[in-house]
Amino acid sequence: MPETSRPTVRELVLVPAVITLGVTILRLVGELQHWDQRFFNRAGGGGGALVGISWLPFLFGGYFAYRLLKAGEGPASRGRAFGMVALAFAILFAVIFAGNALKLPPTVIIVSVCLVSVPAGWIASRGWPALGKVLFAYALAARVPVALLMLPAIIGKWGTHYDALPPNFPTFNPVVTWALVGLFPQMTLWIGMTLVCGGLVAALTAAVMWGSRRTAVADAA
């Protein structure tokens, strides 16, 4: 039975947002203190670090799906929810594949993926609009603090992944550098990826819960 009280977007996002901010602060402290590189990667992009927020949409996507399904706010079609996410992934992979096939510079490919991530995220959210609103709110709560944090990091040259620049990056004043490597990707690539990755786990969660519900009904019969 659906929950009698349907949670608001704020109620759903608040705790995950606080947890995400805590992870961001922990990572910053770990990088400033030069803790284990496997957990606190200070290289540009910070990829692969075990302590980071890029993994969290996979976790919270399932959590948001569970809460929405329990409240009767599931997708109109579970097949459509999964299909729209699959389409979004296909678009992102197509851009990467085309960029590599055309031998475009890595910077051009990265910018292209950032720009395409926004419509890809929107497409992913169309399969489950209620979830899309929650994931978008969570994405902003997660990524706006990171974008703001990167400005003083770049100005102060903290030696963290928050201020690490791509190889051969042109010299600009710190604010322009921040706009290019901080604000732009945080508000495009990472917003879109939160919608797409969170939507994938949510669609899988919906499928599992639907299967479990059918099994329970069959057993009761």
Look up residue 129 and give its two tokens. 């609009």
Q: How many CB atoms sit inside 10 A of residue 59's CB?
A: 14
Q: What is the pLDDT, as a whole number, of residue 179?
A: 95
Look up the pTM and report it: 0.90
67 CB contacts (<8 Å, ≥6 apart)?
A: 7, 12
| Residues 197, 203: Cα–Cα separation, whole Å | 10
**Residue-by-residue pLDDT tens, the chain, 221 positions:** 455 578 899 999 999 999 999 999 999 999 999 999 889 988 877 677 889 999 999 999 999 999 999 999 999 888 999 999 999 999 999 999 999 999 988 888 889 999 999 999 999 999 999 999 999 999 999 999 999 999 999 999 999 999 999 888 888 999 999 999 999 999 999 999 999 999 999 999 999 987 555 444 334 33
Q: What is the pLDDT, as a whole number, of residue 217?
A: 34
Q: What is the pLDDT, as a whole number, of residue 168?
A: 81
Look up residue 184 and give its two tokens. 């732009």
Q: What is the pLDDT, as a whole number, of residue 129?
A: 96
Q: Using alpha carbons, select from 186, 188, 84 the residue that is nearest to residue 129.
A: 84
Q: What is the pLDDT, as a whole number, of residue 78?
A: 85
121 CB contacts (<8 Å, ≥6 apart)?
A: 88, 136, 139, 191, 192, 193, 194, 195, 196
Q: Using alpha carbons, select from 139, 137, 138 the residue that is nearest to residue 189.
A: 139
